Amino acid sequence: MRVAALATAVAIAAYLLSGIASRLIKFLSPTPPAKAANALRFGILGAAKVNKFGILLPSLAMADVRIVAIGARDTRRAKQVADQWGIPKYGDYQSVLADPDVEAVYIPLLNGLHYEWASAALHAGKHVLLEKPMTANAAEARALADLASARGLILFEAYHWAYHPLAARMREVIRSGELGDLTQVEVSAGIPSLSAVLQAIGLQSRRRDVSSKMDVSLGGGKFLGQGCYAVSAARYLLGEPVRVLNATMDEDIPGSQADVGTRASVLFTGNVVAHLVHAPLGTGFNVVAHGSKATMSVCNYWTPFIYHHLRVTRADGSLERVERVFGEGDSNFVLQLRAFFNAVRKGEKFPTTAHDAVGNMELIDSIYEMAGLRKRPSHAPL
């Protein structure tokens, strides 16, 4: 009996690991198809670390997208990236925006710079795939949404997780009524930073993080960096928030306004309370939805193409089922880029619209304020 159980466990583990490996290989080492004649021509503003996952690898995997230009503050950095990835043109941000061959731009700049450069891109007539969170605050998001709408351009907040089939499946389970009356939902977002781990084990002394990601004037702080995923997931699953009930934030150093940990409880329509958590040592990206009849627990809604599970347990604690939805095994990043292409070329609807981003940013502003910190200031005048 024990041998049979062990053999089953080994077989399941081997099956899961081979799936993880094949999906990672598909993402990290795609077989590039020939580019289509009407491929969407992208420029990139910034030689950012996230480029590789957010646009460069996904575009390699797609016939419908071509990267034609990259700009950076230091054009030597732009040239390095262009040479490495076979991008034909490089320069500064302005040269990318002035290039008539560029139809859309990907903006992976620091959060506080999103408004300024997305606004410049929309004024230049480009569609915009804007890294999350859309802006540093809701006023900026509203201004961008109005501008995109006035110019008839696509403005897309890059919450890639919403493009994986797991996202729709989580929402379907909640809306199906299977869980009964929904009461409380926990949504976490966070991976640990190296310095948080080193501090926790006593290998690094506590000192202020002076990196640009923690510079409040540039949209810095961990809630905008990572905690914002919990905001987007809660709104995707539960709809519109009614109000923030309570929120606490830890500051990196007291008085710095640079947050490193957040807990917030938010009342949503239907009397559902969502508890949003981001913690310095990492909370993972999980959802637990408690209903009167059953509970849904989801592990890793953030990068579900690598691994995830969705588990439903009955009110008595017994297991109902475990689901995994990998579709064709495409990464969220590829699925997101395909949705962007379909929005621009075919007018298809997509969930992470500018309107949706305004809702995310309003909730983020309210959580900062409820926690007694200032909402993130604008870097450029509105």
Ligand X SMILES: O=C1OC[C@@H](O)[C@H](O)[C@H]1O
Q: Give the nearer residue to ligand NDP in terms of CB position, either 108 or 165.
A: 108
Q: For residues 84 and 161, is the Cβ–Cβ distance under 8 A?
A: no
Exactly one of 49, 321, 346, 349 binds ligand NDP (CB under 6 A); which one?
49
* Structural tokens at position 80: 């390095």
The DSSP output letter for 353 is B
Q: State the chain's maximal CA–CA distance in angstroms.
A: 70
Selection from ligand NDP, ligand X, none that 111 binds (CB < 5 to 8 A by kind) is ligand NDP
Nearer to ligand X, 50 or 63 (CB): 50
Q: Which is nearer to ligand X, 24 or 191 (CB)?
A: 191
Cα–Cα distance for residue pair 15/207, rounded to 1 Å: 44
Q: Which residues on adjacent β-strands are paired with residue 291?
A: 182
CA distance 100 to 82: 18
Output the smallest distance, CB 189 to ligand X, in A. Answer: 9
Shorter beta-carbon distance to ligand X: residue 295 or 352: 352
Q: What's the min distance (Å) between Cβ of 158 and ligand X? A: 9
Residues between 116 and 135 with contacts to ligand NDP, criterion CB under 6 A: 131-132
Query: Which entry of ligand X, ligand NDP, none binds 286, CB below 5 to 8 A by partner kind?
Result: none
Q: Does 47 bind ligand NDP (CB under 6 A)?
A: yes
For residue 133, is the peptide bond before it cis, meaning its omega torsion is within 30 degrees of 0?
yes
Hey, which residues between 140 and 199 contact ligand NDP (CB under 6 A)?
158, 160
Q: Are strands 182-188 and 286-291 parallel, antiparallel or unpaired?
A: antiparallel
Q: Where are the alpha helices (DSSP H) in the chain?
A: 2-28, 51, 57-60, 75-85, 93-98, 114-123, 138-151, 165-176, 194-200, 222, 228-238, 332-346, 354-370
Residues that bind ligand NDP (rule: CB under 6 A) add up to a total of 21
Any contact of residue 304 with ligand NDP (CB under 6 A)? no
Contact track, ligand NDP, 5-24, x by CB under 6 A: --------------------
Look up residue 42 and give its amino acid. F
Q: Is 110 in the site for ligand NDP (CB under 6 A)?
A: yes
Binding residues for ligand NDP, rule: CB under 6 A, are 46-50, 54, 72-74, 77, 108-111, 113, 131-132, 158, 160, 212, 225
